[in-house]
Chain A
Amino acid sequence: MWFLNPSGLWWLAACALVLLLYWLRPRRVPVVVPSVLLWRRTLQDPSLQRPARRFERSVLLLLQLLAVAAASVALARPQRLTAGSGDVVVVLDLGVRMQATDVRPSRFEAARLAASKFLAQVPASRVAVVAAARTPRLVHPLTPHREDALRALRELEPTDGPSDLEVAVRVARSLNPQARVHTFSDRASEQATPHMFGGPLEDVSITGLVASPLPGDRMRVAVTVRNSTAATRRVEVSVVVDGRPQGKLSLPVAPHAEATGKVAVPAGVWVEATLSGQDELPATDRYAALGTWRPPLRVLRVGAEDPYLERGLEVVAGTVDRARKVDPRSWAAFPVVVLHRAPPVDLPPGAYLLVNSPPANLPVRAAGTLPEDVVLHQSRTHVLLRFVNLLGVRVKRAWRMEARAGEVLAQGAAPLLWAYESDEVRVVVLPFSPSQSDLPLRPDFPIFLANALDWLAGPWASQVEAGRSVSVPSGALQEAVLHGPAGSVRVRSRAGRFMLPPFDRAGVYVLEAKGLQRVWAVHPSSAPVRGGLLTGAGAARKPASEQAPWLVGLFVGLLALEWWVFSSGAGRS
C-alpha cells in the first residue's frame, strides 16, 4: 500500500480539531439526582478526573474520528500493490494544450514537476517514461535506475501538436501488462491512473490559414479564428509573408464560434498569421501556411538530344541544364535528372526520368526491341497520368521492357510506361524517344511531362500539423540542414532519405542542401481546446489498485452511522 497523494494525509490533523471541538463543547446532559453526595465521594479518585476521560467511550467521537481518518486517507489516494505491479510507467502529455497557463507556470511544467516527484517517490522495482505526443514514444525503457528516467523526463518539452494519450498508454502497457501506468495530462485515460492538470480554458486561437493566388503577383490570405471563451472577442491578426509584415485584420468573433477574415498581400513562399492579445494558450495564437509562390524546378538532361523532349522540358521545368557525358557524381545537385538514350548505368539515389535509356540497377530490363506498338491500356489512378490520355499513342520503335516490380502505367504489346519508387530512387521509364512516336503531337505530352517532373521532384513545399515526422529522399546528398523555429540542425542521409525530427513547434521549416530546398509550413494542432476533461466513459473507470473509492464509501457509511447513532440517542456508551 502506498499513497498517490501523500499530502492528503495532512487532513488527518483535522482529527485534532474534532477532539478540540469535542473537548470545548461537551454538551453535558443535565440530570437531577436525589443527592450528589456519593458522586462527590466517587470523584475524589484522581483517575476519574483526567480530562481525557471525556473522550473515552464516546461512540459519536469515535465515528467522527474514523470518518475524518477515512476521508483523509482517501484524499491521499492509497494504492494497493498487487502481484506483478512492481513496474511503474509514467506517461507525460506533450500536447499543445499542456502549454496552457491556467496552471502556473503551465500545465506541462506542473505535470512534469508532479511526475518527477511521483517518479522519485513511488515504490516500484522499475520505472519507465513514455511521451504522449502525436506519435507516442518511449522516452526511457523500464529501468531500476530512477535517476536515468528522471533525467529523461526532465528533458521533455511540450509540442504544438496533438497528443494521443490512449496510444501512449498502450505503449506503456506493452512494456509490462502488469505495470501501473500513471498519466500526467489534462485528460484521463481509460487504462491508467490519471493525474489531472488544468480546468476549462479561456482561449482564442487561429484554426485555419489559406493562401490563394490573385492577379498581379499577389495572394489572398484567409484567416479563421475560433473563440472558445464565453464572451464576444474582437481580435487583431497580423499577417507576415516570408518574414515581412504585410497586412492586418480585425475580426469580431462570437462566443464559442469561428470567424474568417481575408486580406490581400504580396505573394510569397510562406505566410504566418499572429493574434494580438494574451490568453491562456499562446501556442495557438500563431499559424503558418504556404504561400502561392513556387521556385522553378531545376532539371539536368543527360545524353542525346531529342527536339521534342528538349522543347517539352523547357516549357515545363524552370531550368534545364544539359550534359552529354554520363557522370552520376554530378547529378546530386539536381532534384530530377532526365536521361535520354544514355547507356545503362547504375543510378545513384535520386529521381530520374529515363527516356529510351534502359537502367542497370532497377527491377526492369531491356529484352530486345519492339518494332511498333500502340498504347492500348493505361492507368486511370496514378498521378503521372492525371489529365493525360495515352490511349492510341503509336510508337515506331522502342525497347521491350520486362518489369519485375514497380507499376506499368501504359501498355500495348509490351509495357510502354513504367514507374518505380523505392527508399532511394524514384524513376519513370519511357522506353522510346518522343521523336519516335506521335506522343509529342498530342496536347497530353507537356501535361505528362509536368506530372512526371512533379512526381519525381516530390512536393517542394508542404503544410502539416505540428508533431508530424517526415522523411525526404536524399538522392545523392549525404547531409542537409534543417532550419526551424527552434534553430538549425544537421541531418544525415540514411538509406537514401533524410529522416527529419518531428516538427514539434509551429512555424516554417526549411531543409537545405546542395541543389535541394524543401519548405514545411507547420501549424499548431487545431483540436478543440477543452480543459480538465475526462475523455469518454472510460475516464470514470479507476484502476484496480485505487483504494480511494472504498474509503469514500466508508466515509459516507460512517457519517450515516453517526447520524443514526445521534438520532437514536445511542451516542454515549
Chain B
Amino acid sequence: MLLEPAFLEKLERLRLVVRRRMRGSVGERRSRALGRGVEFSDHRAYQVGDDWRYVDWSIYARLDRLFVKLFEEEEDTDVHLLLDASASMRFGSPSKLEYAKRLAAALGYVALANGDRVGAAAVHAGMVRTLPPRRGRAHAYHLFRFLEAEEAHGTTELEEAAKHFAPHRRGLVVALGDLLDPRGFQGFLKRLRHAGLEVFVVHLLAEEDLAPPQSGELRLVDAETGESVEVTVDEQLLRAFASQRDAFLEEARAFCARAGMAYVRATTALPVEDVVLRYLRQAGVVA
C-alpha cells in the first residue's frame, strides 16, 4: 500500500496547478487560452493576431488603448509521472525510489481526482517502461500497481530515455529522480521541454548524496557503473565535496528556473505527506 487512506482523503482536496497553456479535451484543468472558457481571469495588451471578439471595448473607450480579456478555460490534462529507477535510487532510508513512488502516487492520485489523464514511466539504463495515460479514479489502482512493481537497477541515462518517451498529447510531466547522470540532466529536461510538456522536477536526495558515508582511506564504488574513485576523506575533502554538492543542487535549481520548470528538492528524511501538503503547495505546484 503506497498511500494510507487518510492521506488519500487529504489528496482529494488538492489539484495540480499548471502555469502554461495546455491543449486537452474536456476536463477540469483551467487554461489561460484566449476566447475559451467562461470565467474572466485577466487583461493583457492587444497583440497582432488576437481575436477582435475578446477586445475589451469599455477599456478602449476609457483609455484609448486596446486590451483583450483573458478567460480561464477548463480542460483535461495529461499528467506523466516519470520516475528515475536507476540503481542510484535504491539509496536512502526509505530509498529514493520508494520515496519517488509514493510521491508519484500522491501526485497521480491528485490528478486523477481532478479528472486528468495520468500515465507513468520508469527509466532504467536509457530504457522506458510506461503506463499509458488514463482518466478516472479507477486508474489509480493500475497506477499504484505499476509503481509498486518498479525496482531500482541499471544506469542513469536520462537523455537517452527521453528519446523513448514520446507522449501523444502535451501535458504535465513530473520528473522524479536524483539527476545524478554522468552525461548531465540538462539534455533530458530540454528534450521534455521541447516536446511541449510542462515539466515539474522533483529532485530527490538521500543522506548518502549529501555527505560521504565515513572518513578515512576509501575506495568509492559507483552503484550503477562499478567505477571506483580512491579518496582520502578528511575535512578538506569534505569541504570540497560539500561545495561541489551545493553547486550541483544550485545548478539544477537555476537550470529549471531559467527553463520555466517547477523545481522542488526533497530529501528522503522528509515525510511524503509534508512534501505534498506543505512544500509542493508553497511551491505552487498543487493548490
Contacts and interface: CB of A to CB of B under 8 A. Distances in A.
A28 B218 contact: yes
Given A39-B229, A45-B240, A34 B180 contact: yes
B234 A42 contact: no
B251 to A, nearest CB: 11
Interface in B51-88: 87-88
The residue among A28, A35, A39 with the most chain B CB atoms within 10 A of its own CB is: A35
Interface residues of B, number: 44
A36 interface: yes
B244 interface: yes
B223 A32 contact: yes
Contacts of B231: 39, 43
Given A31-B213, A33-B213, A38 B244 contact: yes
Contacts of B222: 32-33, 35-36
Contacts, number: 111
A54 B233 CA distance: 9
Contacts of B274: none
B234 A56 contact: yes
A42 B241 contact: yes
Contacts of A31: 212-214, 218-221
B141 interface: no
A40 B240 CA distance: 11
A33 B221 contact: yes
Interface in B204-220: 206, 208-209, 212-220
A40 B241 CA distance: 10
Contact of A36 (B156, B217, B229, B233): B229
A275 B96 CA distance: 94
Contacts of A57: 234-235
A39 B213 CA distance: 13
Contact of A54 (B96, B217, B224, B227): B217
Contact of A32 (B178, B221, B241, B244): B221
Nearest to B182: A37
B180 A571 contact: no
Chain A contact-residue range equals 20 to 34
A32 to B, nearest CB: 5
Interface string A16-39: 000000000011111111111111
Contacts of A30: 218-219, 221, 228
A33 B223 contact: yes
A383 interface: no
B219 A29 contact: yes
Contacts of B237: 42, 48
Contacts of B178: 34-35
Contacts of B234: 53, 56-57, 573
B23 to A, nearest CB: 37
Interface in B174-211: 178, 180-182, 206, 208-209
A372 to B, nearest CB: 117
Given A32-B221, A34-B180, A36-B228, A571 B216 contact: yes
Interface in A433-448: none
B47 interface: no
A494 interface: no
The residue among B209, B216, B224, B235 with the most chain A CB atoms within 10 A of its own CB is: B216
Interface string B133-166: 0000000000000000000000010000000000
B203 to A, nearest CB: 13
Given A28-B230, A42-B244, A34 B215 contact: no
B248 interface: yes
B206 to A, nearest CB: 7
A459 B175 CA distance: 123
B236 A35 contact: no
Interface string A315-337: 00000000000000000000000
B162 to A, nearest CB: 19
A404 interface: no
A373 B220 CA distance: 123
A41 interface: yes
A572 interface: yes
Nearest to B227: A36
Contacts of A34: 87-89, 91, 96, 178, 180, 206, 208-209, 223-224
Contacts of A42: 237, 240-241, 243-244
B182 A39 contact: no
Given A53-B232, A56-B232, A57-B234, A38 B241 contact: yes
Nearest to A52: B232
Given A43-B231, A48-B236, A53-B234, A38 B217 contact: no
Given A42-B237, A43-B229, A53-B232, A29 B217 contact: yes
Contacts of B89: 34
A40 B217 contact: no
A466 to B, nearest CB: 68
B270 to A, nearest CB: 18
Interface of A: 26-43, 45, 47-48, 53-54, 56-58, 571-573
Complex A-B, nearest 8 residue pairs according to Cβ-Cβ distance, in ascending order: A572-B216, A34-B88, A35-B180, A28-B219, A28-B217, A36-B222, A34-B91, A30-B219
Interface of B: 87-89, 91, 96, 156, 178, 180-182, 206, 208-209, 212-225, 227-237, 240-241, 243-245, 248
8 contacts: A27-B217, A31-B219, A34-B91, A36-B221, A39-B241, A48-B237, A48-B240, A53-B232
